[in-house]
Structure 1
């Protein structure tokens, strides 16, 4: 059955302009926002050309300056293992780049170029972002240098599985078009502030592109500049998320039906010292219930290094309490 919209439909009068309304100023305002943001950020975005560790030709991607002394953010998968890096900027200059630090767990890396006249991108924050607001992606897709695409933020707080197997949190979904070569470039707001690092698309999908939130990127940047790496705590287990039989869930008084089972123990690790063994079902760590390996990973952050925390496991039908002293990974 055909449906005929009428002016009485709730809310339509608020979004459909009258025929006499001149929409040109709205489009002009949008264009000025895109042009202004792109012009502000573009000088800081470089085309990274990679030579592999074997000396042969590698891939390419994007990166952007975050400090005036040449530190750049990019993706780990763009520069991981690279022997030789060159960065070409919109002014035509080509500079040698040097790896500084790499964090595959968040698919982020820091490199540095040297020289005068370097312009850094202003870093924004993911706090206060709204679904539907303007987002621009700058980079070098498919070898087309210094390209700009525009779209909106489609969703916030997404999770994305990184190449290292861990979940990357605080991921921004956008429909600003990304293609191979955009990886590592900035996602920026209408004021030209970086709000994310472009990282991934879903093959076969349209308008589903993802950027790692800039708050995560800022944390990784600070850790690498201070320590040369991102510090995380280590328990020393290989574990898997498993479904729990209903009777076990009831016995543990848990609403969740999954848990973390220890598959293997690293010799000499904190888990070994604490007396954990393969087959243990880890119920909670430091008082936090564990429903998945991803939840365990989130607890093993830099703040946990050096702390002695309680861990409860289910072994042979009995709950056993241990204390584990977490080490730096």
Structure 2
């Protein structure tokens, strides 16, 4: 068999870069066919559950005058009785929501609940013969796994793009300011209108809810992990919202002097500098002052605003807990009783 030499390599080598056997080419073709067949089967399985969401909103642009705005997004049916998961930013403040199924049927939808902190929302339609998508498990996702996005970019219904899970464990901020953890990064192309649609595994299971893209980049897209959605949908269906606690402070993350870390054996290198305190809030009643630095809540060390958000869960509502602070270089403990949050507050 004739030996070939790479053009870029000037050193002759015997037997290098031999012609590829026909059997290998055929195997490659079979692999490509298998990949295509996998994607096709996933799309056929999941696309009947994917819906187009048209939204109308009333917005005031000047006193005594409002105008109607229209928007578009995606979602997917996740129960046979018509519950649909989508993004909060798709349906937020909607005056009318209309859902179009993959078979062309159109229905008005009601808002069940939304959680801007995770950018997730649940809406519902009353319709027969619905196909529900199967929810997977996002905990054990690995970079390199096949990822398939189905949605309605720019209104083009049931558009399919495929790629891989580029990374897991990313974080970004929701519109409310809270950090969303464990976000999935993918290179499956997303465009405006894909928001709320499913990111699907090669098994045909939903592993994420497509939510954002870096417009100035290519192939850097993000999805809320489906395990986060599983946690959120229960409270949304039951209460219309996710209960969280708050203490009523505004602050910023600041580094701690090394001498304070060593003197008080602190396990964090930063804390939250209190900039403002809401009147008659838990923080106000606990005696917290501006310029205090929060370094602990309960048994949890606090190094940042995001750490505080993570511990202010529903379970902390009305639970008296120690708040560890540094005040004028002195470590103190205050007792605080968080209240239920009514919005994006700390």
Query: Alpha-carbon deviation of 1:96?
Result: 0.5
Query: Alpha-carbon deviation of 1:219?
Result: 0.9
**Distance in 1 (alpha carbons) for counterparts of 2:229 and 2:44:** 23
Note if contact 1:46-1:89 (Cα within 8 Å) is conserved in structure 2: yes
Note if contact 2:256-2:271 (Cα within 8 Å) is conserved in structure 1: yes
- 1:148 to 1:293, Cα distance in 2 relative to 1, 3 A: same
Query: 1:119 aligned to 2:131?
Result: yes
Residue of structure 1 aligned with 2:265, choices 240, 250, 253: 253
Residue of structure 2 aligned with 1:85, choices 55, 79, 97: 97
**Distance in 1 (alpha carbons) for counterparts of 2:15 and 2:340:** 64
Residue of structure 2 aligned with 1:51, choices 28, 53, 56: 56
Q: How does 1:215-230 map to 2 (within 5 A)?
A: 215-230=227-242
Note if contact 2:295-2:325 (Cα within 8 Å) is conserved in structure 1: yes
Query: Alpha-carbon deviation of 1:255?
Result: 5.7
1:26 counterpart SS class: helix
1:195-216 CA deviation, whole Å, 9 max, x = no partner?
0000000121111100000010
Which blocks of at least 5 consecutive residues in structure 1 are unaligned? 10-16
Number of the residue aligned with 1:42:
47
- 1:313 to 1:86, Cα distance in 2 relative to 1, 3 A: same
Query: Alpha-carbon deviation of 1:242?
Result: 1.5
- 1:208 to 1:8, Cα distance in 2 relative to 1, 3 A: farther
**Distance in 2 (alpha carbons) for counterparts of 1:67 and 1:321:** 47
Number of the residue aligned with 2:176:
164
Q: How does 1:93-112 map to 2 (within 5 A)?
A: 93-112=105-124
1:229 counterpart SS class: coil
**Distance in 1 (alpha carbons) for counterparts of 2:14 and 2:235:** 57
Number of the residue aligned with 2:5:
none
| Bigger Rg, structure 1 or 2 | 2
**Distance in 2 (alpha carbons) for counterparts of 1:90 and 1:99:** 20
Query: 1:237 aligned to 2:249?
Result: yes
2:30 counterpart SS class: helix
Q: How does 1:20-35 map to 2 (within 5 A)?
A: 20-21=23-24, 22=26, 23-35=28-40
Number of the residue aligned with 2:226:
214
Query: 1:182 aligned to 2:194?
Result: yes
Q: How does 1:309-320 map to 2 (within 5 A)?
A: 309-320=321-332
Which blocks of at least 5 consecutive residues in structure 2 are unaligned? 1-7, 60-66, 342-346
- 1:3 to 1:302, Cα distance in 2 relative to 1, 3 A: farther
Number of the residue aligned with 1:76:
88
**Distance in 2 (alpha carbons) for counterparts of 1:302 and 1:92:** 40
Query: Alpha-carbon deviation of 1:24?
Result: 1.7
Number of the residue aligned with 2:78:
66
Note if contact 2:243-2:313 (Cα within 8 Å) is conserved in structure 1: yes
Query: Alpha-carbon deviation of 1:8?
Result: 12
- 1:121 to 1:247, Cα distance in 2 relative to 1, 3 A: same
